[in-house]
Structure 1
């Protein structure tokens, strides 16, 4: 007879959140850690839970951290539904260790250490299947809560590195297609003309047709929101047949990307926060 699954107690939730946040601390500090070891150390503190149950609870915590304006640890995809009691417990433990919040937000402003050249593969990782729109009520401007995405958006060194990686990707793609003469015509517009054109890179399709590319880069997961200006939105509408937003994520670790072609109103869920954007579910 199968044993009855019981709700997680406050003690279990507290222990699991503490375990997760310690992994996050070590990750942000660049200290190596093994997730399996953390799961095994946690199990004796729980009431007959399995490792898979612990993994799912960690995914719950990843979702809560994203809702609270921070980034999750790498390797645990945010769960779509999560135990509501996790929210106050995560908040309580974060409040008790403000240095962890400071570490995570400081990371959002750190310049990339590796060269962006050659970091992106030709194949797109695809739009994430689980997306968490971030309501305006969570923004730091309104509530004083942390906002990893907003702080990272001000990281000019990261933004430039992402643009260089995408420009390099475009160059290699065209050369591979036997269109070296087009590759040589690629222009890094945000550097040569400034930010007023509504896109970062002028590239070309294999046919020679122009392609206007706006690049948004994050060190965090693909689900992390990004910010779109009114001008970028305007250009995406007016030039929808040649406009593409390229989202670069996991930058500096296992960088990947996906592309959104055309009008951003059609491809993203936009919130009037100047705008916060996420890919629109298919």
Structure 2
């Protein structure tokens, strides 16, 4: 009976979160990248190997921090149609050399080109990330610090003007923030810990409503099911970003204001 129930439970979790969760081995790999296990410079880097291995090339390393300093999340994840969850997009070289996805900016004018003639393959296909790590350390100097993620408090950097990312690849877009969402959302918890304080406004500064709704969270109040710390840690809900790119979920105080950060994964 138990063997029949487990697959059903996993299916419910995946459907209620709008995507596939990580399995145990994937989670272990993620935890190895989260400081103090991994260096600040490499948190948030996405390494893509599947197609590059088939082509006999070094893997593509995508550093979120390089792009995040210049563009808000909505530029890539809304205008350029990159999925919010890993593997959703399925990008190919044929697509970006024709000006889609990365090719929208990496055209030799806005950013270095991805055409064969430009001989810039090494800028993305990396044998190691030593040079990229050095660039990150130089970039991070002087920015608001954090003890988690890649050591940068991005929300503070955005607020104080340390970074000024644009929110569109075309003309700057000004989207009014709904007045009724300005008050932080208070979420009670079943465990003996402080309540969660969620700010729509901080997320809206870099994202769009469609980034989370309805694929990651249902938009109706109290309609999201199976929302637990465990499902988050395995890459569902908040974990879709806050285990891989945004500050990781061992930074307890960022959401649970009354907690200390003595808990570590």
Normalised by the size of structure 1, how large is the TM-score? 0.25
Structure with a larger share of its residues in strand: 1
From the CA coordinates, give the structure whose radius of gyration is larger. 1
Normalised by the size of structure 2, how large is the TM-score? 0.26
Higher relative contact order (CA 8 A, sep 6+): 2
